[in-house]
Amino acid sequence: MDFEEQEEIFIPEQEESSFKDYTPQKDQVVFLVDASASMFQPNLQNQVPFFMVINATINFLKDKILASESDNIAVVLYNTQNTQNHMEFSQIVVLQELGPPDAPRIKQLQELLDRKDYQHGHGSALLVEALWLCHDLLTHNASSSSRRILLFTDEDQPNQDKPHDMQRALTRARDLGEQDITLEVFPFNRLNHNFDFRLFYAQAVILDEDEAAQEVTGAEKLEELMSIMHKREFKKRRLGTLDFVLSPYMKIAVNYYCMLRETKKPTPVKLHSESNKKLKTTTSWICEETGKQLWDHEVGHHYEMGGQKIVFTKEEVSRIKTFDSPGIKLMGFKAREKLKDYMNTRSSYFIYPEDSRIRGSAQVMHALIEEMKQLNKIAIARVIPRQGTLVRFSALLPSEDPKGFKLMFLPFADDIRNPETLKGPTEAPEPTQEMVKSASEMMENIRLKEFDISNYYNPEIQHFYANLEALALEAPNPPPVPDALEPDEEGLQTKEHHIQNFFAQAELGSLKRPAASKSTSKMVKGEFGQGNCSESELKKMKVAELKELCVEKGLNKTGRKDQLIERILTS
């Protein structure tokens, strides 16, 4: 049986970056917050660190409840006077058990923030017991997940008066890493003392390659804390690992990352109108001729070629999809100036060596990068990101910080369109010197200061989430959303005379166009005997009209459009 609807054989381009080389996992996060008295003392910016953390936690929960509601979050306070936890560790309070984010959790924290009322008191707990409790919370759920402990404190030497317990805390922190639990420290400065990460936490926490212990400083403002949390939350995650084949006898291992991905609104979930239970979508195939419902093994695929339907079996489709094994294959090197900006067809990948898979990969790649930079070269390569995706033509550009390659996707010859189609019907006249000068003055006076694309959020997405958040939290009105793309009307009014001067010069220039050159002043008898036509008018004609004019004048009508025009003008 034939089917009108056809399916894509290869994975669509927009879906390639959504695949990972690991199973999608839930995110389990424990907020471990120091509740000692010093965390309630205002800092130099007159902000209380403890309430900064609560505020940041609320924002974190809001993001999770909208973007990833299946994740689990817990809030644990230590150095309290009260004790409230299932392991009965002294002076530790589990404020919120590990569970999915929801409106009641946010409201509880918001009430604590609004009242500024802290009822648990201040004490001196052991950090090793706090970490042990967090470990128990994260391992209680046996499902595979990404597990993290976010520690907020202003104490850079915890339990320093108890060296034995201090060493136990260091050992426990190291053990967390061996059990795939990430410990992240968010330090705060005190009024008379800046947090020194090297005193204790440099030995307890594994830093990224681009971080150093002496560079980890305490947050002073809520905005700084939110920015640090945002950067760590959306840390680059690899899309996969590939073999980079340099020759038939040599290859290295690399990880590849997506450098840019469009943020889209989440797909709404369909619910039953009465019970609000989630609905499951199923697809049924119906034969158009008989109306019979078909099973999966009865459904085939076909493509039309020359008016004939070519039918494929499931096995044949699988073989077609297997063009080659995933990987990157080096084709050769070219000069950097051969690569043009317009050749980039989609968002780029970033390639970084993976020494744990093939030893020496980093050393080989760094040698290539240094030599390519010195010789001003780029590498041309063939890329297949994963099984079932299309083969890609790409260029590798050396990057210094961090050391790796920017993988730029190039168009195939089949994708290139004729540049002549971009040309206008006539050539624009040369602007006058006054027009150029007025345009320069306008641009000099209407400049964006400190332009950074990371400061421009999509207003449509932000407006959508603000309204969704208000509905989830039962707020009367959604919070206002600033539109960073809205032009500065007041600023433009102060520069209005420059804009008016430019448009005045443009209007004046259009009335005083320079005289036509000798080459454009040629005149011929017009089509179908109606007057004379200039070269510019001939260029506006279609090829068929030019051929008719050639026949009328007794000229040869074969050739390209420019040949026909030249033939008519010289006749």
**pLDDT one-digit tens code per residue, 252-271:** 999 888 877 777 777 777 88
pTM: 0.55
Whether the upstream peptide bond of residue 459 has omega within 30° of 0, thus cis, is no
Residue 2: per-residue pLDDT: 40
Residue 77: per-residue pLDDT: 95
β-strand pairing of 145-153 with 26-34? parallel
Question: What is d(CA 96, CA 112) in angstroms, rounded to the nearest whole number?
Answer: 13
**Which two structure tokens, joined as six digits, stand for 557?**
């009508």
For residues 520 and 507, the answer to whether their CB atoms sit within 8 Å is no
Question: What is d(CA 394, CA 344) in angstroms, rounded to the nearest whole number?
Answer: 9
Q: Which of 109, 145, 186 is nearest to 29 (CA)?
A: 145
Q: Which of 321, 332, 370, 354 is nearest to 243 (CA)?
A: 354
Residue 395: per-residue pLDDT: 94
Burial group, residue 341, by CB count within 10 angstroms (0-12, 13-18, 19+): exposed
Tokens 């403890």 identify what position? 50
For residues 191 and 44, the answer to whether their CB atoms sit within 8 Å is yes
Convert 357-396 to b/e letters by CB count within 10 Å (16 or more is b): ebeebbebbeebbeebeeeebbbbbebbbbebbeebbbbb
Residue 231: per-residue pLDDT: 54
Residue 517: per-residue pLDDT: 43
Give me the numbers of helices (H) and strands (E) for the chain, helices first please.
Answer: 15, 18
Residue 563: per-residue pLDDT: 80
Residues of the chain with pLDDT below 50 are 1-24, 209-210, 213, 234-236, 513-523, 525-531
**Cβ atoms within 10 Å, residue 538:** 22
Question: What is d(CA 255, CA 239) in angstroms, rounded to the nearest whole number?
Answer: 7
